[in-house]
Amino acid sequence: MAYTDIDKPSDYFNTVLYTGTGSELAITGVGFQPDWTWIKRRDAVAHGGMFDNVRGATKLLSSSQTDAEQTIAQSLKSFDSDGFTLGTGTNGYVNTSGSTTVAWNWLASNTTASNTVGDINSTVSVNTTSGFSIVSYTGNGSSGSTVGHGLGVAPKMTIIKQRNSSNGWNVWHYGNNNGDPDSFGELNSTSAWYQNQGADGTYTTQPTSSLLTLTAYGQVNGSGNTYIAYCFAEKKGFSKFGSYTGNGSTDGTFVYTGFKPAFVMVKSYTNGGRNWTIIDNKRNTFNPETEWLYANVSDATFDASLYPADFVSNGFKNRGVGSYFNASGENYIFMAFAESPFTTSTAIPTTARWLCSYSLT
């Protein structure tokens, strides 16, 4: 049995940090040409920007806004062989002069193709090795309609956004009650999960190895509306999409992933008022993870020194009692990508992460 599907996760997901200049700026060091880049300023209040190769460069969506897609010529201008190029910083999303910024990057296929498997034709960019696809489609307003996602295995998480008008970011996650198809969260909101929504849910049945079966709900399938979907399948040693229950202790819940994480996003699905919280291995290069950014608001970095978490060789360990990661009895979903598998395909174990001493007092 293979220990992992991917020995070098940074070939498929990587985080880079940069400082904006306000002038055209080439960002390198990603290690591949990204197909989805998610940018967030760290040092000041600013909405983040999402760009992908299916919609095309300069096409911006923000996870902290419900706004329709914007075309901003001087935003992310191109996807390049080792990163991307930013335009002049006339907007605050990606390249304000002097701004410290993070960019999370995923590889799909660097190409697009037509997918005609479902009732609704889609345009996709797919990487079956890493379990990631980007899917563009136009809704037909008919419940039970299907869209092909191209992964070849059933996704464990999808993020869908209407492009042509204001609407919420619809998130379906298998970690919520074993993947109730008609339940969802909103990436732009602190709300708890919307459970058992029926006709106003995401899907009529769980996603299959080839298809998303949509309701007629406006967030996912309004007639004539255009949508983008980011679809994620679980890959051993590279990605994990699960759930856990907080214990409200400084000896907090350990969450198994099967790899040393590079990126973790967590959201309570049982309690409203909780942000979508992101930690990664580049903003904190050693334990504990104390720099939080939120997907759903424009806030700058939050100093989480009182609510730390550690990235360990096979998961992450909560070390605090903060409500966003580890409230007693609260249920959380998570999305995680690897820095390195716990053990490579040739049985080489990952190394431990450095620990910086800290105090909770």
- Given a cut of 70, whether residue 226 has pLDDT beyond it is yes
The more confidently predicted of residues 15 and 360 is 15
pLDDT of 11: 98
Residue 24 CB neighbours (<10 A): 13
In terms of Cβ atoms closer than 10 Å to its own Cβ (0-12, 13-18, 19+), residue 233 is buried
Contact 162, 68 (CB under 8 A): yes
Extents of the domains making up the chain: 9-106, 113-232, 240-341
- Given a cut of 60, whether residue 336 has pLDDT beyond it is yes
- Average pLDDT, stretch 129-155? 98
- Average pLDDT, stretch 285-313? 96
pLDDT of 93: 87
- In sequence order, the 6+-apart residues with CB closer than 8 A to the CB of 97 are 20, 21, 22, 23, 89
Q: Which pLDDT band, with edges at 50, 70 and 90, does 353 fall under?
A: low
Q: What is the per-residue pLDDT across 231-279, written as a single tens digit (0 to 9) for each?
A: 999 999 999 999 999 999 999 999 999 999 999 999 999 999 999 999 9
**C-alpha span between 17 and 144 (Å, rounded):** 42
The more confidently predicted of residues 259 and 360 is 259
pLDDT of 345: 84
pLDDT of 357: 46
- Given a cut of 80, whether residue 92 has pLDDT beyond it is no
Q: What is the per-residue pLDDT across 152-192, written as a single tens digit (0 to 9) for each?
A: 999 999 999 999 999 999 999 999 999 999 999 999 999 99
**C-alpha span between 290 and 308 (Å, rounded):** 5
Backbone angles phi, psi at 268, to 5 degrees: -70, 130
Q: Which residue has the tokens 């996603």?
A: 207
Computed over every residue of the chain, the mean pLDDT equals 95
pLDDT of 358: 47
Contact 162, 225 (CB under 8 A): yes
- Given a cut of 60, whether residue 298 has pLDDT beyond it is yes
- Average pLDDT, stretch 44-59? 97
Question: Which has the closest alpha carbon to 206: 242, 283, 154?
Answer: 154
pTM given for the model: 0.96
pLDDT of 210: 98
Q: Which pLDDT band, with edges at 50, 70 and 90, does 356 fall under?
A: low
Share of the chain above pLDDT 70, in %: 97
Q: Which pLDDT band, with edges at 50, 70 and 90, does 2 fall under?
A: low
pLDDT of 360: 44
